[in-house]
Amino acid sequence: MTAPVAEHNNRSPLLTVWQNPTIRFQRMLALILLICQGGITVTGSLVRVTGSGLGCDTWPLCHEGSLVPVQGAAPWIHQAIEFGNRLLAFVVAAAAVAVVIAVINAKRSKIIKGLAWASFIGVVIQAVIGGISVHLDLKWWAVAIHFLPSMVLVWIAAILYMRIAETDSATPTQRYPQPIQWMAVAAAVALCFVLVTGTMVTGSGPHSGDSGVGMDGRLELDTAMLAYVHAACMYIYLIFTLLAFYLLRKNKGPKDAYNTAIVLILLILVQWAIGVIQFQLGVPRWTIPAHIAMSSAVVAFSAFLYAHGQRRLPTLV
């Protein structure tokens, strides 16, 4: 009887955590994954605004015949920024793998396991898309296709973070009236148009992602006109979010959903202010990473608001 006890006592605490991950540990990993998914979009924007997009001019190698930067092949700062962004993809992948392992060992529901696997598979697909965009010399539409899936992965990571806190065996509970859920869905659809038109504004603008390309490969449409279309989509998105907030308040919805809506509205307003500054100042470089970072934050909180609508209660904390 004593041998199994001794074996248990000798087990590494770290191994125990991974073999029997708590809800708190799973959520911590999911939060790290969410931050990584948003963070890599910011480093990607740094690649663009510094003209480092072809600091590594091939993929999966950095340069022909070399996995790492080569002295003299391109300015060292461009190589460092682009290669650093590629290395960060491995960090995101590691975070996704950690979440997959944790939810499998915890024997979570098929939905949660599916979200975890979708995050990992999405990271792999994103790496391939990034390589294709390099081979296409960073054409605007290739860069857009690289950015937009990142926003989908941020959404998935945010939903995963919410769902992990729930009780798998519980019956899904509708937490606020259906019209509020409709507003959340309508806001999410409007957000899709905001993101797509945003990539078109960037694609027609001055930041090509490669200092030697100039305006080649840009979207040949008027940037000001696209900016107005982008702004109109943003206002529609804000209106639907405000309607969801109003209905939550009117119907005395769950406090956590109500607070999420408040934070989301504040984030949208900050994003709007950054966009106005960009338009008025001619898209200065420093505004791009800030705008991209806020995009990830807005997407994440939009996902949170949507997820609050139906949950498997009681919530584990």
Is the pLDDT assigned to residue 4 strictly greater than 60?
A: no
Sign (positive or negative) of CA dihedral 202, 204, 208, 211? negative
Which residue carries 């659809």 as its tokens?
189
Please state, in angstroms and as integers, the Cα–Cα distance from residue 297 to each residue in 17, 19, 24, 89, 93, following that order.
Answer: 30, 32, 22, 19, 20
Looking at the domain assignment, is residue 282 inside a domain? yes
**Mean pLDDT computed over 107-112:** 93
Structure tokens at 158: 């945010």
Please count the structural domains in the chain.
1
Q: What's residue 206's pLDDT?
A: 64
Residue 200 has pLDDT above 80, yes or no: yes
> What pLDDT does residue 138 have?
66
Confidence of residue 11 (pLDDT cuts 50, 70, 90): low
Query: Does residue 117 belong to any structural domain of this protein?
Result: yes
Residue 232 lies in a domain: yes
How far is the C-alpha of 45 from the C-alpha of 65, rounded, in Å? 27
Give pLDDT, residue 267. Answer: 97
Whether 196 has a pLDDT exceeding 80, the answer reads yes
pTM, to two decimals? 0.85
Tens of pLDDT, residues 216-247: 556 777 778 888 999 999 999 999 999 999 99
Does 7 fall in a domain?
no
Query: What confidence score (pLDDT) does residue 38 get?
Result: 93
Question: What band does 14 get if pLDDT is binned at 50, 70 and 90?
Answer: low
All residues at 6 or more sequence positions from 214 whose CB lies less than 8 Å from its CB, including other chains: 208
Indicate the pLDDT class of residue 270, thresholds 50, 70 and 90. Answer: very high
Q: In this structure, is residue 2 part of a structural domain?
A: no
Residue-level pLDDT at 189: 95
Give CA–CA dist 184/173, Å, rounded: 17
pLDDT on residue 48: 74
DSSP the chain: -HHHHHHHHHS-HHHHHHHS--HHHHHHHHHHHHHHHHHHHHHHHHHHHTTBTTSS-SSSSSBTTBSS--TTTS-HHHHHHHHHHHHHHHHHHHHHHHHHHHHHHTT--HHHHHHHHHHHHHHHHHHHHHHHHHHTTT-HHHHHHHHHHHHHHHHHHHHHHHHHTS-TTSPEEE-S-HHHHHHHHHHHHHHHHHHHHHHHHHHHSS--SBTTTTTTT---S-HHHHHHHHHHHHHHHHHHHHHHHHHHHHTT--HHHHHHHHHHHHHHHHHHHHHHHHHHHT--TTHHHHHHHHHHHHHHHHHHHHHHTEEESSPP-
Give the mean pLDDT of 176-188. Answer: 91
pLDDT band at 130 (very low <50, low <70, confident <90, very high): confident
pLDDT at 248 > cutoff 90: yes
Residue 207 banded pLDDT, cuts 50, 70, 90: low
Q: Is 252 among the domain residues?
A: yes
Residue 219 inside a domain? The answer is: yes
**Could you tell me the CA-to-CA distances from 294 to 92, 117, 140, 192, 253 in Å, in that order?**
19, 26, 21, 15, 26
Is residue 131 scored above 90 in pLDDT? no
* Residue 167 pLDDT grade (very low, low, confident, very high; cuts 50, 70, 90): confident
For residue 74, the enclosing domain spans: 17-312
Residue 1 included in any domain: no
Q: Is the pLDDT of residue 317 over 50?
A: no
The residue with greater pLDDT, 18 or 159, is: 159
- Write the pLDDT tens digit of every residue in 275-312: 898 888 877 777 888 989 999 999 999 999 999 988 88
